[in-house]
Structure 1
Amino acid sequence: MTATTDERVKSVSGFRRAMIRPELGAICGTILVFVFFVLIAGDTGMFAAQGVMNWTLVSAQFAIIAVGACLLMIAGEFDLSVGSMIGFAGTVIAIVSVQWGWPVWIAILCAFAVALAIGALNGWLVIRTGLPSFIVTLAFLYILRGLTIWLSILTTRQTIIGGVGEAAKGDWLAWLFGGKIFGSLFVWLADADVIATYDRGARSGQPIIDGIPMLIVWAIGLMIFAHVLLTRTRFGNWIYAAGGDAQAARYVGVPVDRVKILMFMFTAFCATVFATCQVMEFGSAAADRGLLKEFEAIICVVIGGALLTGGYGSVVGAALGALIFGVVQQGLFFAGAESSLFRVFLGTILILAVIMNTFIRRMITGER
């Protein structure tokens, strides 16, 4: 029995299939960025063990918030309150643990509970009012930033709340956000002269890298979770459907409203993970933390190939966009360039990414 070809199904060449992959642009951009900085900063220590750890840590920071933004944008919505959520969640942790004297693990759980509630409220308002998520979350950007500053001044009369580091010592949940893993491995690598050690001071003889920060572990974990959710589950198909054509998705039984609200909550969850890691790293909370992070997250996702109209994107692409950001930010430092050029890069890469994504969308839809 011979197989027949349905004439209604349009065949797609392997080359065209590769061209419409959302992460294609991010892959090309990553290669170009690495080649560029190998040429101009390869002998500055950027690709030594400590340099690699530096830009990996920065990339992980971008990746954590980009993962949440990616899934939400694929679902057809935006969240501009991410940056303010970072500062707000960190302040909640500091107030509950330092000012109220509660255990840090309770403070962290409180921050996550409040953040998830705000994320659900964002999603509910978007669904119930029919307003663009851009407007609703822009309002919460100001509301949360104002609340953060007000709460800080009300409780401590200053916008920076310290003492979290001391309160977090020995706390089991605090370690999951501020600890390090594989410390013995790096000691062994230092003994084998694979990585450098401190040659003076109190830490003389200890490895320069004493472990992998949990922030990097969280970034990798969230990326894997989101990628599997998006590509291997029915819920992932619902996310694409909700962003592609919400009304058509409703007709076939997709719970579009629930999907979008959950994605707003997931974005708030990612922002709180970032905030908690920052608070544990610095031992304090500051009202201005997270400034402009919402735009950096969106740019990472756009670089990764997601369409601003929703229904198309990739977690892998968003992760590569975060990697590009981390490498460029640290690469400019190692190359001795002016740090403000990083913002120039952000604007330039955003325009190029949108142009390329528009070209890809036209290839998919056949538009001229």
Structure 2
Amino acid sequence: MPRPPKGRAPLLQRLIVQPESGAALGAAVVFVFFSVVTDRFLSPLGISTWLDAASPIGIVAIAVALLMIGGEFDLSAGVMTGSTALVTALLAVQAGWNVWSAVLVSLIFALAVGALNGWLVVRTGLPSFIVTLGTFLALQGLNLGVTRLVTGTVQVSGIHNAAGYSSASAVFASTTGIGDARIQASTLWWIVLTIIAAVVLVRTRFGNWVFALGGSPVGARAVGVPVVRTKIILFMTTSAAGWVVGSCDILRFDSVQASQGVGSEFQYLIAAVVGGCLLSGGFGSVVGAAIGALTFGMAQQGIVFARWNSDWFMLFLGILLLSAVLVNTQFSKRAERARR
């Protein structure tokens, strides 16, 4: 058998050291399985359905992946989707604001919370797990308290009557028909944001800073990486991703519950881990996180198409998470050996 050119690793070895390889393999298995089990899975409407289910997870998962590669966590990402949707809805419905103004204020709110999370983590030295858990609880209480105080209930609805709804809905909640398929705006947001984040991570100086932070914060600071600024930006990015999902949800469904998004943070983390991110930081892939979210969507809707009990989905998540951790650990070890 001819040997590969000197200095160039075999194709299989190059694939193995890529963080997203395990996620791609898992997604392929899920895709083939449900394609065989149910006919609806590969129909145009079926494909658009599981893409729609994956897109909100994918939008936030790519930001969570960047943060995890940088060595941090954000447990407030899920509740942030509900908080930003509530800010938009309360301002537009209760205060009579233009929807675009309400959406802009909710973005500023999200960025401010993200900046606070990052600043607290850097300045106090507390684990990001603890800091963002506190933010999660604070936002959850704020969502419930303010919504009930203003509306007397735990729900806000009727944003479709506000000024500016039509144009804002076209950006965040439009539906594009392609044959029998129905492609939601959130799916397009997911694709575009994945491409942007992937380019930033692997083609820019900022991406190098992110990997350096996750690999060795002390070493990164020693070589001139702006640790404080980079971490704050990463937390702000995660909050901004939550704002995108929250905006898509409120403008698409016309209502928001005070408890919306609670529990979703674990789905984002699992998607990032499935996509190749290590819990210890310094290793991972934005594309892998997107593939991890795609696996979620395919499995979730595949179970529905097959008419199985949806309780089996949680079993699938547990097995998927444990398998991903084991595979990612082995991939990272191989990648480390390949660099030497």
Structure 1 length normalisation: TM-score?
A: 0.87
Measured in 2, the distance between the counterparts of 1:286 and 1:317 equals: 31
- What aligned pairs does 1:1-368 form with structure 2 within 5 A after superposition? 12-41=9-38, 43=39, 45-167=40-162, 170-181=165-176, 183=177, 186=178, 189=179, 195=180, 209=181, 212-365=183-336
Q: Which letter does structure 2 place at the counterpart of 1:51?
A: G
- Superposition deviation, residue 141 in structure 1: 0.8
- In 2, Cα distance between equivalents of 1:66 and 1:243: 17
| Contact 2:168 2:251 survives alignment (8 Å) | no
Distance (whole Å) between structure 2 residues aligned to residue 168 and residue 82 of structure 1: 29
Larger CA Rg, structure 1 vs 2: 1
**Per-residue deviation, 1:340:** 1.4
The answer to whether the 8 A contact 1:165-1:284 is kept is: no
> Which amino acid is 1:167 matched to?
A
Is the contact between residue 78 and residue 261 of structure 2 (CA under 8 Å) also seen in structure 1? yes
Distance 1:103 1:19 in 2: 51
Letter in 2 for 1:99: Q
Query: Hey, what's the Cα distance between the residues in 1 that align with 2:333 and 2:165?
Result: 55
In structure 1, C-alpha distance between the alignment counterparts of 2:168 and 2:209, rounded to whole Å: 33
Counterpart secondary structure, 2:42: coil
TM-score, L = length of structure 2: 0.94
Segment drifting more, 211-220 vs 273-282: 211-220
SS class of match (1:32):
helix
Question: How far 1:106 moved relative to its partner?
Answer: 0.5
Shift of 1:281: 1.0
Preserved CA contact (<8 Å) 1:105 1:171: no
Shift of the 117–170 alpha-carbon distance from structure 1 to 2, 3 Å rule, reads: closer
State the percentage of identical aligned residues.
44
RMSD: 1.8
Q: What 5-or-longer segments of structure 2 have no aligned partner?
A: 1-6
CA distance in 1, matches of 2:77, 2:56: 13
Residue deviations 1:162-184 (CA, integer Å, cap 9, x gap)? 11122266543342111234x5x
- Contact 1:59/1:323, CA 8 A, preserved across alignment: yes
Q: Deviations over 1:176-211 (max 9, x none)?
A: 111234x5xx3xx4xxxxx4xxxxxxxxxxxxx4x5
The structure whose residues are more often helix, as a share, is 2
Q: 1:109 to 1:16 in 2, by over 3 A?
A: same
Write the deviation string for residues 304-329 of structure 1: whole angstroms up to 9, x where unpaired.
11111111111111111011000000
Rounded Cα–Cα distance in structure 2 between residues aligned with 1:170 and 1:61: 21
- In the TM superposition, residue 47 of structure 1 has moved relative to its aligned partner by 1.4
Q: Give the secondary-structure state (helix, strand or coil) at the position aligned to 1:319.
A: helix
> Quick one: distance in 2 between partners of 1:52 and 1:360?
30
CA distance in 2: counterparts of 1:310 and 1:26, whole angstroms = 17
